[in-house]
């Protein structure tokens, strides 16, 4: 529970900071020299300590709390990053697909989780009506968004394969902005 006066970050602020952190780390890694190596080592060590702290929290959490922590988008991502997420990869991947379903259905299509074979996640993308005016290109964007979401939720998987629509329909082409499918509100 947050104390009065403690400033908390809204999800967009967290997303902005994560993007900035990615930019800073990318710039740091492209700069040679001993200072860069020391800074990179400091980031790695800090990440390891924070990972251990999260693991200790999970050790003390009952099942309901562990599930609640895993359900939080930011905490779930950190638990995956530190390889301590309490759910198996297949369940995390299935949940990622479930979160995309409303946005895909809104476009007249559907996406279903079909399981894992080896280290490959499988999904079934069904044709949708899209925008209805031949605005082109959406199937690839939906497929890319699904792959990105599944691999982010379950990095233990090596790929995501789209199985054919059992109805035999070809997916209609429709422009679908990637942000529509991957934004937090598209659940």
Q: Give the helix, strand, coil percentages of the chain, each rounded to 5.
A: 55, 10, 35
Q: Is 116 within a domain?
A: yes
Predicted confidence (pLDDT) per residue in 57-95, tens digit: 999 999 999 999 998 989 999 999 999 999 999 999 999
Which residue, 53, 81, 109, sits at the end of a domain? 81
Evaluate whether residue 3 is within a structural domain.
no
Give CA–CA dist 38/63, Å, rounded.
39
State how far the Cα of 157 lies from the Cα of 49, in Å rounded to an integer: 26
Is residue 46 one of the residues assigned to a domain?
Answer: yes
The Cα–Cα gap between 162 and 127 comes to 12
Report the distance separating Cα 84 and Cα 71, nearest Å.
Answer: 14
Among candidate residues 42, 64, 81, the one where a domain is terminated? 81
In sequence order, the β-bridge partners of residue 8 are none
Tell me the three state secondary structure of residue 98. Answer: helix
Report yes or no on 6 lying in a domain. no
Structure-token match 């988008």, residue found: 73
Asked if 64 and 138 sit in the same domain, the reply is no
Q: Are residues 66 and 116 in the same domain?
A: no
When pLDDT is cut at 50, 70 and 90, the band that residue 12 belongs to is: very high
Residues 99 and 156 in one domain: yes
pLDDT given at position 182:
52
Both structure tokens of 110: 């559907």
Residues 66 and 101 reside in one and the same domain:
no
Domain holding 35, by residue range, is 11-81
Report the alpha-carbon distance of residue 138 to residue 128 in Å, rounded.
Answer: 10
The CATH number of the domain where 114 resides is what?
3.30.300.130
């Amino acid at each position: 529970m947050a104390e009065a006066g403690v400033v908390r970050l809204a999800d967009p602020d967290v997303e902005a900071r994560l993007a900035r952190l990615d930019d800073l780390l990318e710039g740091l890694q492209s700069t040679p020299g001993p200072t860069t190596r020391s800074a990179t080592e400091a980031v790695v060590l800090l990440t390891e300590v924070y990972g251990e702290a999260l693991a200790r929290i999970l050790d003390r959490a009952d099942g309901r709390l562990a599930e609640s922590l895993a359900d939080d988008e930011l905490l779930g991502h950190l638990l995956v990053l530190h390889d301590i997420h309490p759910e198996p990869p297949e369940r995390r991947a299935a949940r990622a697909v479930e979160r995309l379903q409303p946005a895909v259905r809104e476009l007249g299509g559907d996406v279903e989780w079909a399981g894992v074979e080896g280290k490959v996640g499988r999904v079934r993308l069904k044709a949708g009506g899209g925008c209805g005016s031949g605005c082109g290109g959406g199937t690839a964007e939906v497929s890319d968004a699904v792959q990105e979401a599944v691999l982010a939720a379950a990095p233990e998987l090596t790929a995501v394969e789209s199985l054919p629509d059992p109805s035999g329909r070809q997916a209609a082409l429709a422009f679908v902005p990637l942000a529509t499918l991957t934004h937090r509100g598209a659940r």
